[in-house]
Amino acid sequence: MTVILRSLETAVPATIMVQPQVRDVFAAQPGLTRLGQRLVGAAFDSSGIETRYTVLEELTLDRSFDDPLFFDREELRILSPSTKVRNEVYAEEGTKLFVEAARKALAAAEGIEASDITHVVTASCTGFFAPGPDYKVVRALDLAPSVQRYHLGFMGCYAAFPALRAAKAFCDADPDAVVLVIAVELCSLHVRSSNNPDTIVGSSLFADGAAAAVISARDIPLTGPALSLDHFETVLTPVGEEAMAWNIGDEGFEMVLGTYVPHIIDDHIVGALEPLLARDPSLQGLAYSDIEHWAIHPGGRSILDKVEAKLGLTEQQLVPARETLRDYGNMSSATVLFVLKNILDQPASPGNDRICSMAFGPGLTVETALLTRIGAIPAADADAVMAPAAADTFADTDAVPADLEPILTEAGA
């Protein structure tokens, strides 16, 4: 029995943040030291990001808002609302994205109706409320009240994998199950000005986005590309518990992104892949680059550089991850699903269609997955898929002062 991801759709909010503009705002904040200003410039310019999205309409330079909570356009000042205020926005705006992404995924899953959904699995680490997003999706999409609901909270950037793994387990246990998986993150709610390098790097990377998938083992003909969910593995690295964390503060959630994270990944990525690749005898002895597709969570440009070099992958194999980072930034748990969407929407190639996917998060946790792309997409349609919002001017992504490399480049920027 094959468990298939039958549809994968994404959604982003309407407000676009252009990286050089955001950089200039952060660099101009009161209380920022000269070193802080240099760190802001280096982090933003070396991020590999051109555009990001946010649910906060206030984070625009196009117009001012009365009684702003997050950004005073007149003074170009980033404000510090309480965690309660930020979470209230999460409950309202997050629900919209959960529902939008879920609705799109369900509409794209041909042969499956809302009444077929048996399980809903949601993942998010940027806010909390109850009844939660799983409940809101059931109500908004008029799903059966008997749908089983599961919410994976506060796992971080790797949470899409436990969600997909749970979906596969449900389908393995019940061949008639149909699982709706949704990952939504509103990272921009927790933005703040600071001289702290971790906070600066986080401000340069994180963004808002949503992704949803419909998964089932039902024998329904495929009319487009899909993914076979083959194997999943989890590995905790022996070091790194304090290097990457996500804590709740009085003025939002606080990111810890230690400078040693890319080194930890570089040291332990091969070991983390071993149990996954051992699940498929056909992959034994192959060079990593012989697996055609690599869906790597783009935690930052430096992390992608380390993965590419350590595994001997080609530049082309990292294109889906780098394009996702460039066009959307790091959307925490939703991001790797954007990368998989990029691969799904590529035209069929003469090579193999195996996909090795990885994400990294607090712990330091490494989640891995083996998938197979099945079905095809006409080449003529591929260019129109995943077209990012355009911006006229972008940052020079190579302009990192040499003396700041140990602080920023090795922190994932």
- Per-residue pLDDT tens for 303-354? 999 999 999 999 999 999 999 999 999 999 999 999 999 999 998 766 569 9
Cα 203 from Cα 36, distance rounded (Å): 13
Domain count, the chain: 2
Residue 396 lies in a domain: no
Give me the phi and psi of 60, to 5 degrees please. -130, 150
What average pLDDT does range 184-209 have in this prediction? 94
pTM, entire model:
0.90
Same domain, 291 and 381: yes
- Per-residue pLDDT tens for 90-120? 999 999 999 999 999 999 999 999 999 999 9
CATH code of the domain containing 262:
3.40.47.10
Cα 223 from Cα 185, distance rounded (Å): 30
Residue 68 lies in a domain: yes
Residue 254 lies in a domain: yes
Same domain, 15 and 115: yes
Domain boundary among 190, 216, 242: 216
- Per-residue pLDDT tens for 166-186? 999 999 999 999 999 999 999
What average pLDDT does range 58-72 have in this prediction? 89
Comparing 65 with 132, the larger pLDDT belongs to 132
pLDDT score recorded for residue 259: 66
pLDDT score recorded for residue 388: 40
Order of strands across the sheet that contains 4-11? 148-153, 119-124, 178-186, 208-216, 4-11, 226-236, 365-374, 354-361, 293-296
Same domain, 55 and 190: yes
Same domain, 196 and 47: yes
Residue for token pair 């879920």: 102
DSSP assignment of 267-298, as one string? HHHHHHHHHHHTT-GGGTT--GGGS-EEEE--
In eight-state DSSP terms, residue 402 is G
The share of the chain scoring above pLDDT 90, in percent, equals 78
Residue 410 lies in a domain: no
Same domain, 142 and 174: yes
Same domain, 252 and 125: no
* Cα 160 from chain centre: 8
pLDDT score recorded for residue 60: 86
> Is 50 exceeded by the pLDDT of residue 391?
no
Cα 81 from Cα 69, distance rounded (Å): 6
> Is 60 exceeded by the pLDDT of residue 71?
yes
Cα 251 from Cα 238, distance rounded (Å): 32
CB 335 within 8 A of CB 297: yes
Residue 412 lies in a domain: no
Residue 403 lies in a domain: no
Q: Which value, to the nearest 10 degrees, does the dihedral of the CA atoms of residues 222, 223, 225, 231 take? A: -10
pLDDT score recorded for residue 352: 62
Q: Which residues are catalytic?
A: 157
Same domain, 154 and 261: no
Residue 397 lies in a domain: no
Half-sphere exposure of 84 toward its Cβ, with a 13 Å CA cutoff?
A: 0
Strands (E), 194-341: 208-216, 226-236, 244-249, 252-257, 293-296
The share of the chain scoring above pLDDT 70, in percent, equals 89
Same domain, 100 and 175: yes
Same domain, 344 and 197: no
Cα 212 from Cα 117, distance rounded (Å): 13
pLDDT score recorded for residue 245: 80
pLDDT score recorded for residue 179: 98
Domain boundary among 161, 189, 216: 216
pLDDT score recorded for residue 363: 85
Which range, of 227-241, 245-259, 339-353, 383-397, averages the lowest pLDDT? 383-397
Comparing 393 with 361, the larger pLDDT belongs to 361
Q: Is 154 left (phi over 0), alpha (psi -120 to 50) or beta?
A: left
pLDDT score recorded for residue 62: 83
Same domain, 175 and 250: no
Domain boundary among 168, 195, 216: 216
- Per-residue pLDDT tens for 106-158? 999 999 999 999 999 999 999 999 999 999 999 999 999 999 999 999 999 99
Same domain, 41 and 132: yes
pLDDT score recorded for residue 379: 45
Domain hosting residue 120, numbered range: 4-216
Name the β-bridge partners of 257: 244
Q: Residue 370: exposed, middle, or buried by beta-carbon count in 10 A (0-12, 13-18, 19+)?
A: buried
CA distances from 355 to 10, 293, 296, 345, 358 (A): 19, 5, 10, 13, 10
- Per-residue pLDDT tens for 11-55? 999 999 999 999 999 999 999 999 999 999 999 999 999 999 999
pLDDT score recorded for residue 349: 67
Cα 12 from Cα 297, distance rounded (Å): 17
Same domain, 185 and 248: no
pLDDT score recorded for residue 54: 98
Write a three-state SS string for 345-399.
Answer: CCCCCCCCCEEEEEEEECCCEEEEEEEEEECCCCHHHHCCCCCCCCCCCCCCCCC
pLDDT score recorded for residue 41: 97
Preceding omega of 131 cis (within 30 degrees of 0)? yes
Residue 305 lies in a domain: yes
pLDDT score recorded for residue 198: 87
